Amino acid sequence: MISARQALERLREGNRRFVSDVRSRDTLVSQARRNELAAGQEPFAIILGCSDSRVPAEIVFDQGLGDLFVIRVAGNIVASSQVGSVEFAAARFGTRLVVVLGHSQCGAVLATLEELRQATETQSRHLRSIVDRIRPSVESLLATELRHHPDALVRQAVRANIRASANHLRHGSEVLEQLIQSNGLLVVGAEYSLETGLVDFFDVPA
Ligand SMILES: [Zn+2]
């Protein structure tokens, strides 16, 4: 298995190809590659991303079958089943890089900000469970001057939510903590820009 830093470089290169409208031939699906993978997988990165239709991890990183272990949920939140999925992949396949991939104008973050401004009773408890995960990281921003600057507020809220999810994975699981300490597991936070297609890895531990 390649190291976390090598995996990160591979994702950066793939994203550069995506942004410049160039595609790697390796990402084309072939019968041969399918057959090869039927025997087993060795994904080089785990991505916890948002369900937004505009941010499919394999496409924005220009990767192919078997390359990425992807978990997608609205607002890239971390609840037990997300932690479990990351633990499973990291322990089973030896994957060393975990990326929390949020994006600009995230609908789940916008919905949380709306809810904080004006609480509604109509929201289903399932939807509320997502908003409640995002709420703590954006609530404090509303207490600052940012509340007068809607665009900046949304930008900061998206990043705060990504950081919170990354920190939850870093500190909310004994299995992952162990792998971070002894196996070179790295959890990073990144934001995809809907406008430019660029992924900014803004939260990478030294
Ligand atoms: Zn989103």
141-186, pLDDT tens digit by residue? 999 999 999 999 999 999 999 999 999 999 999 999 999 999 999 9
Rounded to the nearest angstrom, the distance between the alpha carbon of 77 and the centre of ligand 1 is: 10
Rounded to the nearest angstrom, the distance between the alpha carbon of 31 and the centre of ligand 1 is: 33
- Name the strands in the sheet holding 97-103, side by side, starting at the edge strand that comes first in the sequence: 68-72, 45-49, 97-103, 186-192, 199-203
Alpha helices, H only, 94-149:
107-117, 125-139
Rounded to the nearest angstrom, the distance between the alpha carbon of 141 and the centre of ligand 1 is: 19
Rounded to the nearest angstrom, the distance between the alpha carbon of 13 and the centre of ligand 1 is: 23
Rounded to the nearest angstrom, the distance between the alpha carbon of 9 and the centre of ligand 1 is: 24
In degrees, rounded to 5, the angle at the alpha carbon of residue 173 between the alpha carbons of residues 88 and 109 is: 90
pLDDT above 90 covers a percentage of the chain that reads 87
201 in helix, strand or coil? Answer: strand
Would you give the DSSP letter of residue 28? S
Instruction: Return left, alpha or beta for 76; rule: phi > 0 is left, psi -120 to 50 is alpha, else beta.
Output: left
- pLDDT for position 182: 95
- pLDDT for position 121: 76
Greatest pairwise CA separation for the chain in angstroms: 56
pLDDT tens digits, residue range 86-121?
999 999 999 999 999 999 999 999 999 999 988 877
Rounded to the nearest angstrom, the distance between the alpha carbon of 101 and the centre of ligand 1 is: 9
Residue 187 scores a pLDDT above 90: yes
CB count, 10 Å around CB of 183? Answer: 14
- pLDDT for position 25: 75
- pLDDT for position 26: 74
